[in-house]
Amino acid sequence: MSVGYSEENIKTLEWREHIRLRPGMYIGKLGDGSSQDDGVYVLIKEVMDNAIDEFMMGNGKKIDISVIGKEVSVRDYGRGIPLGKVLDAVSKMNTGAKYDSKAFKKSVGLNGVGVKAVNALSSKFVIRSIRDGQVKVIEFTRGVTLKDHPIESTTEENGTEVIFQPDEGMFGNYYFISEYMETMVKNYVYLNSGLVINFNGNKFFSRNGLADLLNDNMNKEGLYPIIHLKGEDIEVAFTHGLQYGEDYYSFVNGQNTTQGGTHLVAFREAIVKTIREFYKKDYDPADIRSSIIAAVSIKVEEPIFESQTKTKLGSKDIGPNGPSVRNFINEFIKKQLDDFLHKNSETAKIILKKIQDSEKERKAISSIQKLARDRAKKVNLHNKKLRDCRIHYNTNDSNKLDSTLFITEGDSASGSITKSRNVETQAVFSLRGKPLNSFGLTKKIVYENEEFNLLQAALNIEDGIENLRYNNVVVATDADVDGMHIRLLLLTFFLQFFPDLVKKGHVFILQTPLFRVRNKKETRYCYSSEEKAKAIADLGPSPEMTRFKGLGEISPDEFVHFIGKDMRLEPVRMRKDDSVVGVLEYYMGKNTPERQDFIIENLRIEEDIIEEDKIENEQ
């Protein structure tokens, strides 16, 4: 049957309609706030970037941010939007001052889109511009003007305030995680010396730039003091630690480019080239960069990003008349790092020993590695453990933000998820029994253990998480003792060998309901005893109550509700004062006295829980 195609099929959408119809083009994925790259944080970033651009141009020394419930307020003390252009600036696409590169030479927001997307995707959006004793206020809902207030007199300082509430119709029952917000705020102050950000009553500022960033994100001191190098339009800081992998923080014009780009590629190349030349030996790049933790920030004229979310730099050149990004960074690192190493011989000795130790370990596992790679490639052709999704054949980066791998145990659980999943974006990896406790083992075990080797291959993280195939790695195990144990063993594996997966916010725990309460008219799924009690009270006399003992007991028809739009994910997060080694030693070490004491002291609580379960089952 052919579909009609005529003039009536050609439509022109208003700006707000297009943003709401295709939000992924503007803010990446929507999300509910459980992930750092969810759209609700991108909205805040879009507003913040405008305030930061004002600061970078020398206007205003502080920014006030508040997040109360679902309402966000951002107030800068810059020049304020020209009062006659406030409406256009927030509601007309491709309108802004940043097309004039003289006024905003090295700005983040160049496309005149960001704040319009915030407006269109917010159920409440209020813009206030204060300039020279006058204030202009306009209120919107979902991009539609509610009230355009006349200009009034004011005694407030110059600047702009944006108050908005993301639309629940777009984002669902979202929430803001304070740790994610604080990370965003801290990144802004690390990159903008002299800036003070007041966030929910707390003051944030940085004296030492990227060196502060590394110190705040490292669980232990590096092998040597942080090397901190600064130049015009570039700043880098790095050291080596004891962890596996490479850990990078990259920025362009104050924008956190979480997916890297040309500047990060150039930095990684420049470190290798300079180290090789300094020690006059052709060391393997993996040995030079193994366990590095580094931050790099550059400023580029009219940067080109690979998407509106600005998470990956595409620019090849520093500016229209400047050198390439690659040459600019390479020349800076070659000169500054070489000078530093010649002047700091003790640090140079430590770096050399680290490289040599990494080389020894790599060679020790190279033969095992080759066999494991070959085995993984062969198995992947007929890999019954991995049921992949189709998204990897689509080049749309914003879609890839939704890619998810569920790691589950047992045929029944993996079967239910496989039948219920969205085959476009969701993949399933099935474990066979409990994984090995990998704490204290070397990386050889990743290649010697078939389960770990295949999981590593499925995630594509052998050489770091830069090419991670799934944005969300979700541990989906039963809510019982065995399920908790499997969860702990998987987290041990990630933290031991691929800590960046956790640190960068890619690992989650799937929350599934413990109870189903239903009558003839309604079914409710409950995630706690409190929710169950309320459901029983609400549904009237004698509703049917089922307790799910494992994921395999939930039918595919029901499971689709728990891994779809309303999926409940609990992010696995680590605080700065959490030492990876300390955490793993406490929970996974051999009979530590501290853990024994904890179990003894809390045994009564466990007994109470068992007794409560008995009472529930009797009821």
Q: Is the pLDDT of residue 595 over 70?
A: no
**pLDDT for res 313:** 74
Give the span between the Cα atoms of 606 and 483, in whole angstroms: 17
Pairing mode, strands 247-252 and 255-256: antiparallel
Which among 363, 301, 344, 361 is positioned nearest to 103, based on CA atoms? 301
**pLDDT for res 382:** 47
Q: Residue 232: how many CA atoms within 13 Å on its side-chain side?
A: 2
Tell me the pLDDT of the chain averaged across its residues: 83
Structural tokens at position 120: 């269109």
Q: Is the pLDDT of residue 102 over 60?
A: no
R_g (Cα) of the chain, nearest Å: 27
Q: Determine the average pLDDT of the residues in 158-173.
A: 93
Which residue did the predictor score with more confidence, 586 or 394? 586
Q: What is the pLDDT of residues 37-60, one digit of tens each?
A: 889 999 999 899 889 888 888 888
Q: Is the pLDDT of residue 5 over 60?
A: no
Q: Is the pLDDT of residue 345 over 90?
A: yes
Q: Is the pLDDT of residue 204 over 90?
A: yes
Give the span between the Cα atoms of 212 and 190, in whole angstroms: 7
Q: Is the pLDDT of residue 9 over 50?
A: yes
- For 227, the 3-state DSSP assignment is strand
**pLDDT for res 103:** 46
- For 237, the 3-state DSSP assignment is strand
Which residue did the predictor score with more confidence, 575 or 110? 575
516-522: long-range contacts, CB 8 A cutoff, minimum separation 24: 516/545, 516/546, 516/548, 516/558, 517/543, 517/544, 517/545, 517/546, 518/543, 518/544, 519/543, 519/544
Q: Is the pLDDT of residue 101 over 70?
A: no
**Measured at the alpha carbon of residue 60, what is the angle toward residues 58 and 65, in degrees to the nearest 5?**
135
**pLDDT for res 376:** 57
Give the span between the Cα atoms of 436 and 576, in whole angstroms: 27
Phi, psi angle pair for 599, to nearest 5°:
-65, -45
